[in-house]
Amino acid sequence: MRIVHINKTDAGGGAAVAALRIHRSLMRAGVDSHILVQEQKRHEPNEHSVGKGLWYKIKNFYRFVYERLYILPHEKDSHMRYNFSIANTGQSLAKNPLVQSADIIHLHWINQGFLSLESIRELVALGKPIVWTLHDMWPFTGGCHYSGTCFEFNESCGYCPFINNPKKKDMSYDNFVQKRNIYANSNISMVTCSKWLGTLARCSSALKNVNISSIPNPIDTNFYRPLNRNECRDDLGLPRNKKLILFGAAKILDIRKGFRYLEEALSIIQESFPVIANNIELVVFGKMNKKWSEKFSFKIHNMDFVSSPEILVKLYNAADAFILPSLQDNLPNTVVESLCCGTPVVGFSIGGIPEMITHMQTGYLAEVKNSLSLANGIYNVLFFSPKQRELVRESALRMFSEATVTQKYISLYNQMLGNNTNEQQ
Per DSSP, the three-state class of 40 is coil
SS3 content of the chain, % helix, strand, coil (to 5): 45, 20, 40
DSSP per residue, 326-354 = -SS-SS-HHHHHHHHTT--EEEES-TTGG
Can you tell me the distance from the alpha carbon of 382 to that of 385, in angstroms, rounded to the nearest whole number? Answer: 9
The amino acid present at 19, given as its one-letter code, is: A
Q: Are 181 and 209 in contact (CB under 8 A)?
A: no
Counted residue by residue, the chain has a size of 425
Can you tell me the distance from the alpha carbon of 48 to that of 358, in angstroms, rounded to the nearest whole number? Answer: 39
The per-residue pLDDT string of the chain (425 residues; one tens digit each, 9 = 90 and over) reads 999 999 999 987 889 989 999 999 999 999 999 999 999 988 889 999 999 999 999 999 999 999 999 999 988 877 777 789 999 999 999 999 999 999 999 999 999 999 999 999 999 999 999 999 999 999 999 999 999 889 999 999 999 999 998 999 999 999 999 999 999 989 999 999 889 999 999 999 999 999 999 999 888 899 999 999 999 999 999 999 999 999 987 666 677 788 889 989 999 999 998 888 899 999 998 877 666 666 677 888 988 888 889 999 999 999 999 999 988 777 788 999 999 999 999 999 988 899 999 999 999 999 999 999 999 999 999 989 889 999 999 999 988 888 889 999 999 999 999 844 444 43
The amino acid present at 252, given as its one-letter code, is: I
For residue 37, what is the enclosing H or E element?
Answer: strand 32-39
Q: Cα–Cα distances in Å, from 375 out to 33, 266, 285, 324, 392?
A: 44, 7, 21, 12, 20
